[in-house]
């Protein structure tokens, strides 16, 4: 077995599609919109705008770092090179943990959407949804492990279809409810002064879950043509699209649904919006969009996990077996199978929770904190590495230093503020799962020391 991925398999269009799929507009709306509106109310669209621009500073950091050193490990590899192996390892470990937890929050909406189509009476059954989610996880893993070329082509089609459906729903909502919206949204709600510090922090960390995943384009850089430019440009293009999509649909949700309808909708919120706009079966287009979005999001999450683990193993910081690439498929298949197995275990464990909503809310908060951590490290690494280049022009100063540092500080502040509002179990999982990384790190250091 080799440790060479399939080179030049993706292009710029694939990078944009993968970045959008990584953040998964319809899935993220379904999984998170109720939680966000519950936390900040009519300030939800503004939360998404502000968080989107905060994350955009990290996108610029990733773009510059990738132009300097394309690597499947992305944040892990750059932080390692700039700040050392320990910080670099935990940047990668936080992504691995977040991706593993995401197997629960990603597959549950897929299961719920599938049951809405084929067995509506079971859509609110936690056991039925979980079993359906497990089926989707197995199917998607089989597709991903077979190769990146097919995954890339299918993803472009799925992303374009999903965005088309969301656009139709949004336009119909404005036409139907624009004159008599159920929630009034004015420019005042977009003012920074409309937020208190705690409200802004809570909204930002939840909103971060919406955007998390765009960086998969950079994890696929070794499999992309023009690897120094296309992945970074693709991530910027994807970010601009998803900021617009998330903000628009947050406004649409508030315009179309009442408070009680939003609370009751849970992960069916996109379908509930469409159901008030279109007669059946046309409203089921929203369910199709959710299924496509969730499948794409599962794919990109598995890709991020497997490529990050591949890079860490190739560097010797994790066991070598995870860097093995299949001779025919040219994918890190063992790392791919590992994330699938972890996902299955977590899905089965989620049955011990009282409800689907409880599982979703906890995973959203935990992933938001962990994403803030490794995004922030990448932002600071960019600013430190390019500190001399930043003095050469205003553009360099803004995109290499000012925005990455400002974004890193804002994300870390939001994470700390949010942790202070978590219950004990959520806090233990969020921080404890990060600290668990010390076990494989120490173990591998001992192996390397003995090998010498």
Q: Which pLDDT does position 118 carry in this prediction?
A: 81
Q: Which pLDDT does position 452 carry in this prediction?
A: 46
Rounded to whole angstroms, how far apart are CA atoms 351 and 406? 40
Rounded to whole angstroms, how far apart are CA atoms 385 and 388? 8
Rounded to whole angstroms, how far apart are CA atoms 407 and 391? 19
Q: Which pLDDT does position 212 carry in this prediction?
A: 86
Structure tokens at 344: 């299955």
Contact 195, 203 (CB under 8 A): yes
Rounded to whole angstroms, how far apart are CA atoms 295 and 111? 11
Rounded to whole angstroms, how far apart are CA atoms 176 and 380? 46
Rounded to whole angstroms, how far apart are CA atoms 399 and 449? 40
Q: Where are the alpha helices (DSSP H) in 192-318?
A: 197-211, 216-219, 230-256, 259-265, 269-277, 285-314
Q: Which pLDDT does position 310 carry in this prediction?
A: 94
Half-sphere exposure of residue 309: CA atoms within 13 angstroms, side-chain side: 28
Q: Per-residue pLDDT for the chain (452 aa), expressed as one digit of tens each? A: 566 787 888 899 999 999 999 888 988 888 788 888 988 888 999 999 998 999 999 999 999 999 999 999 999 999 999 999 889 999 999 999 888 887 776 777 778 778 877 887 887 787 888 888 888 888 888 888 887 887 788 888 889 999 999 999 999 998 988 778 788 777 777 888 888 888 888 788 788 878 888 999 999 999 999 999 999 999 999 999 999 999 999 999 999 998 898 888 877 788 889 999 988 888 888 888 888 888 888 888 899 999 999 999 998 888 888 888 888 888 898 999 999 998 888 888 777 766 556 666 677 778 888 889 999 999 999 999 999 998 889 999 999 999 999 999 999 988 888 888 888 888 888 888 888 888 888 887 777 665 44
Domains of the chain: 12-451 (1.20.1740.10)
Which residues is 325 bridged to in the sheet? 2
Q: Which pLDDT does position 360 carry in this prediction?
A: 62
**Alpha-carbon distance values, 405 to 109, 206, 208, 298, 379 (Å):** 34, 21, 17, 30, 6
Sign for the CA dihedral angle at 34, 198, 54, 102 comes to negative
**What is the value of pTM for the model shown?**
0.88
């Amino acid at each position: 077995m080799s440790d060479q991925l399939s080179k030049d398999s993706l292009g710029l269009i694939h990078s944009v599609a993968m970045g959008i799929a990584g953040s998964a507009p319809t899935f993220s709306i379904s999984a998170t919109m109720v939680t966000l509106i519950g936390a900040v109310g009519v300030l939800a669209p503004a939360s998404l705008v502000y968080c989107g621009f905060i994350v955009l500073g990290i996108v610029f950091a990733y773009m510059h770092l990738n132009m300097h050193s394309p690597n499947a490990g992305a944040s892990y590899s750059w932080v390692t090179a700039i700040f050392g192996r320990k910080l670099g390892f935990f940047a990668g470990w936080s992504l691995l943990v977040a991706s593993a937890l995401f197997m629960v929050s990603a597959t549950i909406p897929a299961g719920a959407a599938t049951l809405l189509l084929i067995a509506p009476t079971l859509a609110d059954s936690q056991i039925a949804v979980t079993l359906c989610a497990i089926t989707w996880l197995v199917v998607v893993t089989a597709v991903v492990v077979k190769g990146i070329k097919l995954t890339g082509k299918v993803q472009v089609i799925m992303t374009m279809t999903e965005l088309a459906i969301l656009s139709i729903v949004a336009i119909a909502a404005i036409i139907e409810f624009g004159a008599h919206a159920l929630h009034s949204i004015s420019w005042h709600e977009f003012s920074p002064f409309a937020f208190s510090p705690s409200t802004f922090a809570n909204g930002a960390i939840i909103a971060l879950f919406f955007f998390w995943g765009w960086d998969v384009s950079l994890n696929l850089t070794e499999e992309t043509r023009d690897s120094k430019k296309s992945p970074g440009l693709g991530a910027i293009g994807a970010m601009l699209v998803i900021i617009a999509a998330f903000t628009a649909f947050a406004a649409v949700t508030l315009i179309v649904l009442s408070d009680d309808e939003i609370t009751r909708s849970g992960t069916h919120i996109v379908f509930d919006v469409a159901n008030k706009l279109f007669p059946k079966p046309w409203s089921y287009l929203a369910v199709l969009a959710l299924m496509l979005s969730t499948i794409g999001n599962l794919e990109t999450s598995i890709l991020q996990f497997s490529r990050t683990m591949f890079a860490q193993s190739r560097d010797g910081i994790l066991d070598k077996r995870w860097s093995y690439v299949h001779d025919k498929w040219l994918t890190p298949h063992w790392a791919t199978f590992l994330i699938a197995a972890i996902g299955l275990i977590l899905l089965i464990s989620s049955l011990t929770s009282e409800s689907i909503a409880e599982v979703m809310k906890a995973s959203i908060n935990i992933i938001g904190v962990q994403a803030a951590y490794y995004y922030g490290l990448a932002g600071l690494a960019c600013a430190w590495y390019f500190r001399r280049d930043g003095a050469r022009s205003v553009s360099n100063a803004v995109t290499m230093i000012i925005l990455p540092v400002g974004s890193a500080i804002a994300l870390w502040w939001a994470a700390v503020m949010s942790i202070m509002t978590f219950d004990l179990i959520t806090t233990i999982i969020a921080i404890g799962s990060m600290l668990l990384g010390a076990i494989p790190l120490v173990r591998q250091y001992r192996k390397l020391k003995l090998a010498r």
